């Protein structure tokens, strides 16, 4: 959300937060500058990665039907 990649904040090849990496980020003033400049609303100016696109999500969900999800 603040421009950090998954590799910068998570354990290798997981989505599990790596606290030692995050602790180093929190010690840096750049993190607090990013927090103060973060805008909740409005257009996102950065590039979208493939998994953030609606098409990607639709393709992943297409293999499930409503009955199977229930």
Residue 29 lies in a domain: yes
The pLDDT of residue 40 is above 80: no
Arithmetic mean of pLDDT, 3-19: 86
Range of the domain at 17: 6-69
Let me know if residue 1 belongs to a domain.
no
Residue 46 forms part of a structural domain: yes
Quick check: is 48 in a domain? yes
**Residue 10: strand pairing partners:** 17
Asked whether residue 39 is assigned to any structural domain, the reply reads yes
Collect all residues with Cβ–Cβ distance below 8 Å to 6 and sequence separation of at least 6. 15
Classify residue 33: in a domain, yes or no.
yes
The pLDDT of residue 16 = 92
Query: Binning pLDDT at 50, 70 and 90, where does residue 52 land?
Result: low
Total domains in the chain come to 1
Question: Would you state the pLDDT for residue 49?
Answer: 67
Is the pLDDT assigned to residue 50 strictly greater than 70? no
């Amino acid at each position: 959300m603040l421009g950090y990649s998954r590799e910068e904040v998570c354990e290798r090849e997981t989505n599990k937060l790596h606290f030692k990496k995050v602790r180093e980020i929190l010690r840096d003033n750049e993190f607090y500058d990013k927090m103060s400049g973060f805008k909740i609303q409005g257009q996102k100016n950065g590039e979208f990665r493939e998994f953030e696109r609606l098409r990607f999500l639709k393709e992943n969900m297409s293999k499930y039907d409503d009955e199977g999800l229930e």
